Structure 1
Amino acid sequence: MTMRAYPGISPDHLDVDVSADVEALYTDGITARKGAFTPEWADRLREDIDKAFAEALTRPDGAVGRGPNRYYIEIHPEQLRGFVELVDHPWVRSLCTAVLGPDYRIVELGFDVPLEGAVNQPWHRDFPIPEETRRERRLTSLAFNVTGVDTEEDMGPFEIAPGTQWDDSPEFEHGMFPPKSHYGRYEERAVRKYPQRGDLSCRTALTIHRGTRNESAKSRPVLVLGVDGPEADNGDRHDTAVTRAFWDSLPERVREHLDCPVVDALVPVTQKHTIEGLVMGDV
């Protein structure tokens, strides 16, 4: 196990060896597990996303804009038929434990949908650098992504600038948006990702990234699973909940990491995870 693993975590405590993935997160800021699920599993995911997306668009604040023709929607775990398979996947469990420690918390479940006509987003990170990361170069949260489609070149693929998770400057607007004078650095490093149905990726949301222009007539929905370590507070921006019946149906090792209220009835999520600036895009 790499020395960057969470203190006290031994490979013997993990379901699978993720030492190379931990190293990749600390160097590139992103790693992936090809074929973690079957294409059929991803197709069911796409069905659940499409259903939740259609419902969210019918009510105020059901979806938040992430730029022209690009939306983010947060959902409750039981809206996703494959929720347990996702969070209980050996690679997910092992990577969360190795990076964040045994007390990691699942705090976010949502999805991004770039539609036809979505434009280049500004280069950004999803939240300001936490003090622990700035001071100790230690990651305190992770974001897992699962595509609902086979990504093609013209569908506005995700673009990331490896190694930029440590970039820090008072010039960053809101601590998240580097000025355009920094863009050359990101464009030189930029790598576009083309995940296929069933692929699973993990990144630190601090690595500078953006969604690119969708020139196709297709949408490119991507599921987002957010996980916090003990020090992180990203859960404060999310409102997921579960019903008692769903909670009782979960394996104990899933319940112990699920940080959300148990309620009698679900209320549709009102989106509050806005990211300033993305509504403008790069027109």
Structure 2
Amino acid sequence: MSTHAYAGIAPDRLDADVSADVDALYTDGISARKGAFTADWADRLGEDVATAFEEARSREGGAVGRGPHRYYVEIHPEQIRGFVELVDHPWVRSVCTAVLGPEYRIVELGFDVPLEGAVDQPWHRDFPMPEETRRERRLTSLAFNVTTVDTAEDMGPFEIAPGTQWDDSPEFDHGMFPPRSHYGRYLERAVRKYPRRGDISVRSALTIHRGTANRSVKSRPVLVLGVDGPEATNGERHDTAVTRGYWDALPERVRRHLDCAVVDELVPVTQKHTIEGLVMGDA
């Protein structure tokens, strides 16, 4: 049994046993489910991400830089064929419910692409610490990551400093970027992740992390699914939308959690989820 309180949900009401994942999120700040999907499913996701990336780079504001040769693109659910399978996976549903409560909201869908030549990012978290987390040591949002490739050492793997989701200092620039004087602590804790196609991870985006240098000739696209609890406001930074026909065809238990506009026609997303400082890379 998890030693951390579930968000008002009895564990036996969940679709999957996620007690170890809840513990990991509150201690390390990250957990994962190996082989949640098939490699074929991940390959289809990779195809859809590649199509969306090509479209986004063809227009102004379609992709935002996250450092040299590194991009972030926000997309709409209809742009990936496996959206319903992703958000309706029993493990995903159960982790969201256990940590954030039954009223969790899906607010972000996008992907990061480190290309050949991407450099080490500065250590960072993705947004300033919410007051609920600072006062109560309670997580109010989650980020799920799904790789579209088998990650190798030279491909710039994701690096995270476990346990740093609670780090809080007035020295953090914009509330997100610790000063270099803190880097020793993160390097001591640093763990690199090597997910394979079909794996999915979940983390608190407050846990200090970075992308590392991509020294290969391959890109390393990773899908990002952002989920808020009732108090969180990350959805204000995103423009997720679905068409009316797509909305009507979604299972009710997916619609219940999908916090987005329902429109007659999709408009490509103009990126606004910038993170100050990442464009500087390791400069």
Fold conserved between structures, TM > 0.5? yes
Corresponding residue number in structure 1 for 2:91: 91
Corresponding residue number in structure 1 for 2:77: 77
Residues 200-219 of structure 1 aligned to structure 2 (within 5 Å)? 200-219=200-219
The alignment partner of 1:56 has SS state of helix
Corresponding residue number in structure 2 for 1:145: 145
- Give 1:13 deviation, angstroms: 1.3
Instruction: Output one character per residue of 1:197-247: Cα deviation in whole Å (capped at 9) or x when no partner.
Output: 000000000000000000000000000000000000000000010000100
Give me the TM-score of the superposition, normalised by structure 1: 0.99
Residues 27-42 of structure 1 aligned to structure 2 (within 5 Å)? 27-42=27-42
- Give 1:62 deviation, angstroms: 0.3
Aligned residues: 283
- Give 1:12 deviation, angstroms: 1.8
Q: Following the alignment from structure 1 to structure 2, what is the Cα–Cα distance between the partners of residues 240 and 139?
A: 23
Corresponding residue number in structure 2 for 1:111: 111
9-18 or 262-271: bigger deviation: 9-18
Give me the TM-score of the superposition, normalised by structure 2: 0.99
Residues 225-264 of structure 1 aligned to structure 2 (within 5 Å)? 225-264=225-264
Q: Which amino acid aligns with 1:215?
A: R
Corresponding residue number in structure 2 for 1:135: 135
Corresponding residue number in structure 1 for 2:199: 199
The alignment partner of 2:174 has SS state of coil
Q: Following the alignment from structure 1 to structure 2, what is the Cα–Cα distance between the partners of residues 98 and 8?
A: 8
Corresponding residue number in structure 2 for 1:163: 163
The percent of aligned pairs where both chains have the same amino acid is 83
Instruction: Output one character per residue of 1:241-278: Cα deviation in whole Å (capped at 9) or x when no partner.
Output: 00001001100000000000100000000000000000
Q: Which amino acid aligns with 1:89?
A: H
Q: Following the alignment from structure 1 to structure 2, what is the Cα–Cα distance between the partners of residues 262 and 62?
A: 21
Corresponding residue number in structure 2 for 1:277: 277
* Residue 21, structure 1, aligned to residue 21, structure 2: yes
Q: Following the alignment from structure 2 to structure 1, what is the Cα–Cα distance between the partners of residues 87 and 240?
A: 15
RMSD: 0.7
The alignment partner of 1:279 has SS state of helix
- Give 1:2 deviation, angstroms: 2.3
Corresponding residue number in structure 1 for 2:5: 5
The alignment partner of 1:174 has SS state of coil
- Give 1:8 deviation, angstroms: 2.3
Which consecutive residues of structure 2, in runs of 5 or more, have no partner in the other structure? none
Q: Following the alignment from structure 2 to structure 1, what is the Cα–Cα distance between the partners of residues 3 and 272?
A: 36
The alignment partner of 2:247 has SS state of helix
Provide runs of 4+ in structure 1 moved above 6 Å.
none
Q: Following the alignment from structure 1 to structure 2, what is the Cα–Cα distance between the partners of residues 7 and 71?
A: 34
